[in-house]
């Protein structure tokens, strides 16, 4: 399955490191209906382990449970030998701190018989007297702890007691905001923390911040546990439709993951979850509906009606989060399949602030596209599917240590060289084989090794390099077996089609041979054509020939080579120097909205002004899609790309290996590495 279970006991059912969670129900994605009998019943070793240390809910020991029928299992991150590499960092740039949660320490006077005010009113008046801040009231959760918090502090000489109140402000303009007390602590509390979380369909990434200083104290990510119920969003909607209680199951999965992520972030920073006062959630509309406990099935079919496109605020406990004083802000959506994550990416990238035309692309299982400038923005989504993330690819995998992430192919010999996650060496450099066999890298808990597959950025590079070297024709057909010579060793016959041999383990070493098949190429062509057709639709609606700059967002966009993306035809012809990766722009925008109420208000204003284009109902989409299947494109010229790399002459290939292509100009060393 490509997922190695952790174990330190050698499969004896003692350590508990290999826990998995089986699922029961119908899974149309894999044409599986799994019942409780799919795994063997609880054995003696599992019963003995549970007597020492309880298993997690519905969990089994992977080393003991035997597969007896088709089954879908979740392997949580802590049970994976080679944990996923969730590479999402944040740089919010320069923003004015304007947090919506603040702390105020006040001295509450000793009570007297003459005092007719309640303790809540006394505290509110103290905040007004000492801070010049006028509050609207105290939330019930804070009210319940008020007496105990005041009594817990030692009185001063006048009998007064010191308490700290957390105040949550609401309202777009700072001068007109109203405040409510959300928490009370005895003495002086100094920790006011916030968490910004990007809830993706594949990964969930979060950042813990100090609301007073703006510092990011910790960042962490984990795989979305819903993956076992469907790789893509539509599969999860289908799961909800076909399984009673499926919506509640998906909601519980994502909320448990959010709670665990917040706990992990606080633990990493040496903080308590009680100090988290603000949580910002961004994500695609289906994930946001599920997180809020809203049925996502209306988003699975036209007209893709949102329950609401406005922002939503709830208390942390309402979403089962371990931060009782926190308010959870779910950012607004743009359209049925262009969600809060895109709104946050727009806030981070700032195309609405720039006179230059910007193309912002967030590539995931569903690609979100925004095009425009300060004069106006257009947005759309395209169903690219999970191919760019390694799914539907014969040797594809997620971004874990050992996955190929960079590729170069010699245009004369077709000899490939690769670089993998967890190793800085290229495969033709001395010591590469030994390094990947050891592979002591961050997140790897074992010396298990080898080149294991291709991740998303590697897939883009290998298809682009195959085209540049002449292995692929412009219509995406792999060359037939080229006869004798060095090239012959890199192409294998698959019957009526061919495959390209990307990597073979050294003699005597374990590990798979990594190949790129004709079906792999087709899967990438379909995904890139969907994305490119969406971009071309927006260009037509906006009347824009080409953008001045291109921002590639998301975990995938952060690690692909811009020139190779252009060779593939992902984004159209533009100045390569204007193409850059902006990392997890959705997470960056979420942090900006966390640290500044003004930024939050700006995001809401911009979202209301964006013009939405629905690709599913556009009559030209199919025409644009077909043209975009070719590499780089069937009809669109690429003069700007030609300044960065020599492109082969456009060619079509059926089976002949003798199509001649012009050798590309050598790529500078800075690009080769």
For the residues of 334-384, what is the DSSP string, one character each?
SBTTB-HHHHHHHHHH-GGG-SS-EEEEE-SSSEEEEEEETTEEEEEEE--
Residues 545 and 612 in one domain: yes
Q: Is residue 267 part of a domain?
A: yes
pLDDT of residue 15: 67
Residues 512 and 460 in one domain: yes
Which of 186, 205, 221 marks a domain boundary?
Answer: 186
Q: Which residues pair with 603 in a beta bridge?
A: none
CA distance 131 to 250: 44
Judge whether 571 and 632 are in contact, CB under 8 Å. Answer: no
Name the range with the highest mean pLDDT among 87-96, 320-329, 492-501. 320-329
Which of 309, 330, 351 marks a domain boundary?
Answer: 330
- Tell me which residue range forms the domain holding 291: 193-330
CA distance 486 to 233: 44
CATH number of residue 362's parent domain: 3.30.420.40
CA 439 to chain centre: 25
Residues 55 and 71 in one domain: yes
Alpha helices of 543-645 — where are they, by DSSP H?
554-557, 562-568, 585-595, 597-609, 621-628
Residues 167 and 197 in one domain: no
| pLDDT, averaged across the chain | 84
CATH number of residue 136's parent domain: 3.10.20
Q: Which residues pair with 216 in a beta bridge?
A: 209
Residues 365 and 443 in one domain: no
Residues 204 and 320 in one domain: yes
Residues 350 and 479 in one domain: no
For the full predicted model, state whether its pTM sits above 0.75.
Answer: yes
Residues 217 and 319 in one domain: yes
Candidate from 317-326, 356-365, 461-470 with smallest mean pLDDT: 356-365
Contacts of 20 (CB under 8 A, 6+ apart): 5, 59, 60, 61, 62, 65, 73, 74, 75, 76, 79
**Model confidence band, residue 293 (pLDDT cutoffs 50, 70, 90):** very high
Residues 348 and 472 in one domain: no
Q: Is residue 262 part of a domain?
A: yes
Which of 169, 186, 203 marks a domain boundary?
Answer: 186
Query: Could you tell me which residue, 91 or 101, shows the higher pLDDT?
Result: 101
* Token duo for residue 402: 């050992």
Residues 347 and 281 in one domain: no
**Model confidence band, residue 314 (pLDDT cutoffs 50, 70, 90):** very high
Q: Is residue 87 part of a domain?
A: no
CA distance 13 to 44: 9
CATH number of residue 321's parent domain: 3.30.420.480
Say how many domains are in the chain: 5
Q: Is residue 6 part of a domain?
A: no
Residues 375 and 392 in one domain: no
Q: Is residue 95 part of a domain?
A: no
Q: Is residue 536 part of a domain?
A: yes
Which pLDDT tens digit goes with each residue over 597-606?
A: 999 999 999 9
CA distance 5 to 134: 56
Residues 146-166 have a mean pLDDT of 77
Candidate from 296-310, 375-389, 433-447, 577-591 with smallest mean pLDDT: 433-447
Judge whether 467 and 481 are in contact, CB under 8 Å. Answer: no
> Widest CA span of the chain, in angstroms?
103
The neighbour count for residue 178, using CB atoms within 10 Å, is: 13
Which pLDDT tens digit goes with each residue over 514-568?
A: 999 999 999 999 999 999 999 999 999 999 988 999 999 876 777 788 899 999 9
Q: Is residue 228 part of a domain?
A: yes
Residues 22-28 have a mean pLDDT of 80
Residues 407 and 306 in one domain: no
Q: Is residue 485 part of a domain?
A: yes
Closest CA to 327 of 199, 170, 476: 170
């Amino acid at each position: 399955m490509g997922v190695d279970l952790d174990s330190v006991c050698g499969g004896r059912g003692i350590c508990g490191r290999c826990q998995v969670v089986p699922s029961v129900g119908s899974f149309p994605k894999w044409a599986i209906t799994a019942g409780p009998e799919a795994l063997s019943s609880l054995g003696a070793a599992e019963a003995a382990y549970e007597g020492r240390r309880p298993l997690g809910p519905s969990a089994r020991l992977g080393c003991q449970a035997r597969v007896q029928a088709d089954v879908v299992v979740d392997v949580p991150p802590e049970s994976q030998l080679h944990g996923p590499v969730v590479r999402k960092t944040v740089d919010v740039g320069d923003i004015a701190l304007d947090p919506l949660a603040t702390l105020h320490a006040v001295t509450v006077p000793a009570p007297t018989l003459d005092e007719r005010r309640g303790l809540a009113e006394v505290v509110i008046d103290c905040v007004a007297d000492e801070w010049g801040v006028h509050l609207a009231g105290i939330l019930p959760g804070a009210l319940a702890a008020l007496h105990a918090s005041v009594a817990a502090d030692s009185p001063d000489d006048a009998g007064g007691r010191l308490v700290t109140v957390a105040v949550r402000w609401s309202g777009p303009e700072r001068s007109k905001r109203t405040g409510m007390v959300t928490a009370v602590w005895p003495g002086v509390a100094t920790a006011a923390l916030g968490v910004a979380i990007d809830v993706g369909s594949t990964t969930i990434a979060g950042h813990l911040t100090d609301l007073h200083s703006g510092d990011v104290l910790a960042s962490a990510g984990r795989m979305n546990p819903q993956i076992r119920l469907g790789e893509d969003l539509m599969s999860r909607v289908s799961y909800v439709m076909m399984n009673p209680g499926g919506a509640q199951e998906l909601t519980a999965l994502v909320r448990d993951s959010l709670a665990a992520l917040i706990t992990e972030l606080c633990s990493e920073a040496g903080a308590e979850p009680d100090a988290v006062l603000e949580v910002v959630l961004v994500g695609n509309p289906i994930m946001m509906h599920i997180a809020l406990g809203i049925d996502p099935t209306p988003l699975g079919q036209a007209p893709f009606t949102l329950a609401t496109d406005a922002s939503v605020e709830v208390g942390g406990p309402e979403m089962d989060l371990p931060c009782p004083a926190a308010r959870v802000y779910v950012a607004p959506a743009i359209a049925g399949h262009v969600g809060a994550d895109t709104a946050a990416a727009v806030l981070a990238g700032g195309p609405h602030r720039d006179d230059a035309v910007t193309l912002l692309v967030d590539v995931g299982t569903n690609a979100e596209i925004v095009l425009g400038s300060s004069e106006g923005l257009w947005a759309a989504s395209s169903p690219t599917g999970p191919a760019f993330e390694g799914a539907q690819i014969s040797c594809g995998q997620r971004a874990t240590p050992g996955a190929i992430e960079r590729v170069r192919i010699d245009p004369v010999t077709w000899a490939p060289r690769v670089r993998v996650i967890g190793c800085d060496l290229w495969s033709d450099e001395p010591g590469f084989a030994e390094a990947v066999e050891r592979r002591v890298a961050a997140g790897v808990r074992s010396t298990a090794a080898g080149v294991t597959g291709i991740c998303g950025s590697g897939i883009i590079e290998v298809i682009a390099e195959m085209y540049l070297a002449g292995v692929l024709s412009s219509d995406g057909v792999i060359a037939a077996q080229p006869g004798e010579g060095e090239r012959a060793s890199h192409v294998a016959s698959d019957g009526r089609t061919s495959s390209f041999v990307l990597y073979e383990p050294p003699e005597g070493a374990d590990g798979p041979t990594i190949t790129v098949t004709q079906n792999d190429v087709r899967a990438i062509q379909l995904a890139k054509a969907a994305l490119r057709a969406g971009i071309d639709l927006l260009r037509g609606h906006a009347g824009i020939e080409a953008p001045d700059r291109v921002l590639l967002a998301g975990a995938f966009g952060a690690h692909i080579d811009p020139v190779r993306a252009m060779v593939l035809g992902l984004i159209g012809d533009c100045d390569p120097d204007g193409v850059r990766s902006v990392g997890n722009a959705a997470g960056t925008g979420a942090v900006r909205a966390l640290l500044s109420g003004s930024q939050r208000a700006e995001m809401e204003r911009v979202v209301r002004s964006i013009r939405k284009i629905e690709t599913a109902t556009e009559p030209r989409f199919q025409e644009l899609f077909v043209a975009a299947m070719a590499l780089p494109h069937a009809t669109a010229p690429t003069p700007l790309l030609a300044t960065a790399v020599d492109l082969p002459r456009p060619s079509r290939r059926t089976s002949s290996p003798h199509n001649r292509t012009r050798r590309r100009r050598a790529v500078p060393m800075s690009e080769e590495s």
